[in-house]
Amino acid sequence: MGPLGANLYPEQGAALLLSAFELGVNFIDTAEYYRNYAHIRLALQRFKKPESIIISSKTLAPDDRSAAFAVEEARLALNRDMLDIFLLHEIRNRSDFESRSGAWQVLRNAKKNGVIKNIGISSHSAAVVAAAAVDPEVDVIHCMLNYTGVGILDGGVEDMLAGIALAKANGKGVYTMKAIGGGSLMNQAKKALTWAFAQPLPDAVAVGCKDKTELLTNLGWLHGEDPPEAEQCRMLSRRLIFDDCHACGACVKRCANGALTLSEDGAVWHEEKCLFCGYCAAACPWFCISFA
């Protein structure tokens, strides 16, 4: 619902979240980068049992200072003394995890001091999930999983499922992302979502929705029904926009999915490979990339 997606106003987002809470949804996946804390805070203020809602957030922080800021920002913005779950966002590989050790240390200290209840990582990589599955300090793993394997790095669906099984055997919480491949499986959304919901191991599936029609469709499929609202769901037709590109290549380097290449005129977007994760936009030093 934030600027990377439907770009709802906080009032609109809060109304949608309240509808979800009333229908039994009790788990929210968010991130510093998603810029939707205001939507969540407003919904929690208006909900009769705000403490029953579990919130998982995450930070792209590369170091200790930015991680400490991210934790405090989340606590203030979400109006929570203790965060339920806070993750290092998008660990790409082992060296990425090692280079962010200062940020990880901040999360470890915050857990020790009762500021965060559970810490962990999010990743698109099956190899990272397998490593996190045996790391005793990781409580929660948020990982990429969809039935075609689109977007899974360092392996495929079976590798990711094996990592999830190992994590669960070691007592960790696991919730999955990108069941519809960030939109690339939207034309087979029912199949993709029902497959994700049917997986026995993950504790939850993070599914986005921008209006009540999508919410009711998602919930109908979760419950094995054929919701009439599904007929009215519009195909997502999102795209990336490049404004005044300086052709520096930073976004191309940042995209792990090969969805960007560089020409003399600037970045070139390959829609068929794009997962709409938004990481390229965060990497652009000139703020050239936006979503429409």
Residues that bind ligand SF4 (CB under 6 A): 242, 245-251, 254-255, 257, 259-260, 266-267, 274-280, 283-284, 286, 288-289
Give yes or no for a contact between 3 and 291, defined as CB atoms under 8 angstroms apart. Answer: yes
Identity of the residue, 116 or 251, whose beta carbon is nearer to ligand SF4 in the bound complex = 251
Identity of the residue, 83 or 150, whose beta carbon is nearer to ligand SF4 in the bound complex = 150
Strand-strand pairing, 266-269 and 260-263: antiparallel
Identity of the residue, 21 or 276, whose beta carbon is nearer to ligand SF4 in the bound complex = 276
Question: Least distance to ligand SF4 from the beta carbon of 257, Å?
Answer: 4
| Residue carrying the six token digits 């792209």 | 60
Q: Which residues share a beta bridge with 141?
A: 121, 174
Identity of the residue, 20 or 267, whose beta carbon is nearer to ligand SF4 in the bound complex = 267
Question: Least distance to ligand SF4 from the beta carbon of 262, Å?
Answer: 6
Question: Least distance to ligand SF4 from the beta carbon of 12, Å?
Answer: 23
| DSSP SS3 for 252 | helix
Identity of the residue, 107 or 275, whose beta carbon is nearer to ligand SF4 in the bound complex = 275
DSSP assignments along 92-143, one per residue: -SHHHHHHTHHHHHHHHHHHHTTSEEEEEEEESBHHHHHHHHT-TT--EEEE
Identity of the residue, 90 or 139, whose beta carbon is nearer to ligand SF4 in the bound complex = 90
Question: Least distance to ligand SF4 from the beta carbon of 272, Å?
Answer: 11
Strand residues in the chain grouped as ranges (E): 27-29, 54-59, 83-88, 116-123, 140-144, 173-177, 204-205, 240-242, 260-263, 266-269, 289-291
Question: Least distance to ligand SF4 from the beta carbon of 31, Å?
Answer: 14
Cα separation, 188 vs 82, in Å, equals 39
Question: Least distance to ligand SF4 from the beta carbon of 256, Å?
Answer: 7
